[in-house]
Chain A
Amino acid sequence: MGMTLTEKILARAAGQSAVKPGDNVWIAVDILLSHDICGPGTIGIFQREFGKDARVWDREKVVLLPDHYIFTKDDKAHRNVDILRAFAKEQRLPYFYDPGTRRYQGVCHVALPQAGHVRPGEVIFGTDSHTCTHGAFGAFASGIGNTDAGFILGTGKLLVKVPETLRFTLRGVKPDYIMAKDMILKIIGDIGVEGANYCAMEFNGDAVSALSLDERMTLCNMAVEAGAKNGIMAPDDTVLDYVRKRTHKAFEPVFGDPGATVAREYTTDVSRLEPCVAEPHSPAKFALARERTNVKIDRVYIGSCTGGKLTDFVAAATILKRRKVKVDTFLVPATQEIADALATPRSGGQSLVEIFQAAGCLDIAPPSCAACLGGPVDTFGRTQAREVVVSTTNRNFIGRMGSKDAPIYLASPLTAAASAVTGHITDPREFL
């Protein structure tokens, strides 16, 4: 019997010829990612359990990307980055991307592949639930807590239960008003926030292969919003070319067996999708943008590991070019590499920064998670009262962006930009 892509990667990492869903196996970890929120606790557990003088299992495999609370006056936030810095120094970790230096990257899930730490066929764990993003490169990637991460730091291994695979086939030609965000919001709306609990969400089909890497990352990124352990897709030439340019390590891609059994299959025809939003307070509360034009908004937020990639800003710019925004529009590139690209003149001679400035958006913030998860009170874009937000982020839970009173509508960058222009939720087809 064949194995799915997820099962094959886990079998290899467990040193077994085969695994099946439900097996509990110890697997070897290729990359452990942590950041400023969970890193200090992870380090605390590592030192408590393995001793003050313990060394990490492999310096090359630990990546520390502080990103959450960077541009704030909060003392403890700075203390936490200091803990990471001290640990990186003590352990001589080569991959600590220190804020305030030229090495600083920004949001960990966009930075990890950019900095060359994501390779097909590998096992990545991170102390952040959106670690599932890296499945877009054909890796097994999943979010864990500090205790599991502390264990990996000391041993390089983790006990995991092999998940069942749910297969999502996306077919058809995507219209230009549809983005990966619409696809994943539709899927989560259909299967619900528990629809993939404990499972692997595997994406395939011609509509997936046609997506840019940024867009594929959006699909895998939100797998956790349906409860999934990981999101994953088979690596193709687009992935292999990208990875080869960025990593200096050899890797061996893994592909699922053709006859592998999956627990459930779903098919979506992307040519029939319409621009949508997820209404407060659940990513599964699906609604069509054109049916919510009565919702007046106070601000638009474009940023995060889901909606702050270059493709997301390029999409927003197609709408904002030569138009004016009616509400406060916050733009937060995920990483410094993206921030640099925004400032670079494009084919039309204008940079994206200039387009956004002319549209009346607020000044672009430095790269970080910023208001995607609220954060300290002085965080850029954080809601403080009853502001209604259209956001390209991934979660619209109560209080997620700061204030418990601020309703959040999740949307694609196109829908977010169109809504910024009108001041209410708007279907981007009005402007395309």
Chain B
Amino acid sequence: MTATKPVTIRGPVYVVGDDIDTDQIIPAQYLNLVPTIPEEYKKLGSYALSGLPAEYPPFVPKGGMESPFRLVIAGRNFGCGSSREHAPIALGAAGIEAVVALSYARIFFRNAIATGELYPLECGERLTDVWATGDEAELDLQAELIRHVKSGRAFPLKPLGAARPVVEAGGLFAYARKTGMIAARTP
């Protein structure tokens, strides 16, 4: 959920194309699962990206609950479609720490920030041509760079802008508490 994320994230990536909609990220038949119920949160992870066409390799191994991948690399308009927060949550529950895409649909971007489930990062270059599923990536959030580990090629990420303080605080609630919009938690 809103645990502070490390500054560098390294691991194998899963590559998807353009216009990956929320029905592909988490098919509607699983929306009966409620993300704030811990077992159902995990179950959502096990169904993450299960709506992709059959040509894609499995994201979560059959019968497994988590994905072996740490990052998703995507094309344009990632997360278009529904406002279901189940989408960033399913990816986060599956173990994804960041998505790096050419661009995002608005609601997915907002939900990723508000939940603190994952970093929705943008890169101006088409990284889907550089990475293949399974290649390692190293993401440096401080330097705002993503590196293709085998080739050593590095690509700059776009700054998060106004969303950055919200991400840094750990999501919308943490940000609102920090800035005094709502009362700090009583211990």
Residue numbers of A with Cβ under 8 A of B are: 24, 26, 37-38, 40-41, 44-45, 48-49, 68-69, 74, 76-77, 79-80, 83, 126-129, 131, 143-148, 151, 154-155, 157, 159, 161, 193-194, 197-198, 224, 227-229, 282, 373-377, 395, 397-400, 402, 404
Contact = CB atoms under 8 A, between A and B. Distances in A.
12 contacts: A44-B37, A69-B31, A74-B32, A143-B83, A145-B111, A148-B110, A227-B105, A228-B106, A374-B27, A374-B28, A399-B24, A399-B28
Given A38-B83, A155-B181, A145 B28 contact: no
Given A151-B172, A157-B181, A194-B76, A399 B23 contact: yes
A131 B106 CA distance: 14
Contacts of A154: 182
Contacts of B83: 38, 126-129, 131, 143-145
Contacts of A77: 32
A24 B82 CA distance: 23
Sorted from nearest, which 7 A-B pairs have the closest CB atoms?
A44-B36, A145-B85, A76-B32, A145-B111, A143-B83, A147-B114, A129-B83
Contacts of B110: 144-145, 148
B36 A197 contact: no
Interface in B83-110: 83-86, 88, 103, 105-107, 110
Which among A68, A79, A83, A373 has the greatest number of chain B C-beta atoms within 10 A?
A373
A227 B106 contact: yes
Given A41-B36, A227-B105, A397-B81, 16 more contacts: A48-B36, A128-B82, A143-B107, A144-B83, A145-B110, A146-B85, A147-B111, A147-B171, A148-B111, A159-B172, A161-B162, A229-B106, A373-B23, A376-B32, A398-B24, A404-B54
A148 B28 contact: no
A180 B83 CA distance: 24
A45 B23 contact: no
Contacts of B77: 193-194, 197, 227
A228 B107 CA distance: 9
Contacts of A374: 23, 27-29
B43 to A, nearest CB: 10
Interface in B143-187: 162, 166, 171-173, 176, 181-182
A194 B110 CA distance: 16
Contact of A404 (B53, B103, B111, B176): B53
A322 to B, nearest CB: 37
Contacts of B88: 145
Contact of B19 (A37, A193, A377): A193
A24 B164 CA distance: 13
B27 A197 contact: no
Contacts of A193: 19, 77, 80
B156 to A, nearest CB: 21
A376 B107 contact: no
B33 interface: yes
Contact of A147 (B19, B24, B81, B115): B115
Given A193-B77, A227-B105, A399-B51, A151 B176 contact: yes
Contacts of B132: none
Interface string B14-40: 000001010110011101111111000
A45 B76 CA distance: 30
Contact of A400 (B23, B115, B171): B23
Contacts of A48: 36
A375 to B, nearest CB: 6
A342 to B, nearest CB: 26
Contacts of A40: 34, 36
A377 B29 contact: yes
Given A155-B182, A377-B29, A398 B53 contact: yes
A38 B23 CA distance: 15
B28 A197 contact: no
Nearest to A382: B29
Contacts of A79: 32
Contact of B33 (A76, A83, A143, A229): A76
A402 B27 CA distance: 8
Contacts of A147: 85, 111, 114-115, 171-173
Contacts of B182: 154-155
Contacts of A44: 34-37
B107 A145 contact: yes
A145 B33 contact: no
A115 B122 CA distance: 41
Contact of B32 (A26, A80, A402, A404): A80
B167 to A, nearest CB: 13
A128 B28 CA distance: 13
Nearest to B1: A48
B103 A197 contact: yes
B36 A397 contact: no
A191 B76 CA distance: 15
Given A145-B110, A151-B173, A397 B21 contact: yes
Contact of B181 (A24, A26, A131, A227): A26
A198 B166 CA distance: 18
A157 B175 CA distance: 14
B158 to A, nearest CB: 14
A399 B81 contact: no
B115 A145 contact: yes
B114 A148 contact: yes
A68 B111 CA distance: 21
A129 B82 contact: yes
B35 to A, nearest CB: 5
A68 B31 contact: yes
